[in-house]
Each structure stands twice: as C-alpha cells, then as structure tokens.
Amino acid sequence: MSYQEKRTLMSIITSVLLMVSYSIYAFGQAGMEHINDLQFWAKTILVFIGIGIVVLIILQIVFHILMAISKAIRQKLSENEVDEKEIGRSMRVETTEDEMDKIIEMKSNKFGYTIMGLGFMAGLIAIAFGASAVAMLNILFFSTWMGSLIEALMQIRYYRKGIQ
C-alpha cells in the first residue's frame, strides 16, 4: 500500500470515528435537550469540525514519524546501519505530490461535490416539507461528511485501479 493510500485510509478512519462520536453526542441526551436550539447545533458542529482538523494534523505528524521509523528499522535490518540522508530522500520520493495525485484529486473531488450538492438539495426539500432548520443543518453536515468520505474512497479506488 502506497503512502497516499495509507494517508487517505487514515483520514477515512478518522472521519468515520468523528462522525460516530458526533452522532452519539448530538443524537443522545444533549441533542434531545436542545432539539430546536439552532445555536447549540451550530456550536456542536463547529467544535466537531475543529476537533477533526486538529486530530488529522496530529495523526499526519505521527504517521510521518512512524513511517520514518519503519524505514530506519528496515534499513537497519537489511544493511546493518542507518543512513539518515537515504531515509530523508526516500521519504521525499514517497510523499511528493505530483501530476497523478492532482488528477486523482480532481477526479474524486467531482464525486464529493456531487454528494454535497445532493445533500443541499435534500436539505432544501426537507425545509420545503416542513422540517426544522436543525434538521437541514444536520442534513448539510452529514452530506458534507458523506461527500468527503466518498471522495476519499474514490481516491483509494483510483490509486488501486489506476486512471486511463
């Protein structure tokens, strides 16, 4: 599995875990107590987005450190010495973002935006049929999350199957 696939997989797992914790918190006791309090929901969503960004940054750093350590161990086992310059070079080659990454990103973004657009439509339809603003906010949040999840899954698919 390549660096890009591992990184994408890591962000998928993080976002799923965050969505599960959001659902447990928001649709549990706290959410039921503020069922029509738009301010509560806006604050909760903002806090979870913030947590998501911080967790992702921390995991990226940890991931890079672990990757460098695993390269050093492998080098030590095969050559009995650790060449820091070689590890640095190897890390650069693995993590370089090039034209293929950009094309894959663009292609998978299309899927993400489509899901988000559909979510926006679903939110409008929900309001039109008498749902509350809180329901629309949750539909928008869920569709944004689903859009980024599909986008990440498509990225893995393109890395695996290739793009022609």
Partner 1 sequence: MPEKLEITNNIRTLRFFAHEMTQQELAEKAGVSRQTIIAVEAGKYSPSLELAFRIADAFGVPITEVFSYTK
Nearer to partner 1, 4 or 15 (CB): 4
Nearest distance from residue 69's CB to partner 1, in Å? 19
Comparing CA positions, the residue from 28, 60, 55 lying closest to residue 44 is 28
Nearer to partner 1, 81 or 97 (CB): 97
Nearest distance from residue 135's CB to partner 1, in Å? 42
The answer to whether the beta carbons of residues 115 and 142 sit under 8 Å apart is: no
Catalog residues that contact partner 1 under the rule CB under 8 A. Answer: 2-4, 89-90, 93-101, 159, 161-164
Residue type, 39: Q
Nearest distance from residue 112's CB to partner 1, in Å? 21
The answer to whether the beta carbons of residues 65 and 81 sit under 8 Å apart is: no
> Residue 108 CB: number of other CB atoms within 10 A?
22
Chain centre distance of CA 87: 27
Nearer to partner 1, 148 or 155 (CB): 155
- DSSP secondary structure letter of residue 37: -
Nearer to partner 1, 8 or 44 (CB): 8
Nearest distance from residue 27's CB to partner 1, in Å? 39
Dig out the tokens for 31 from the structure: 């959410």
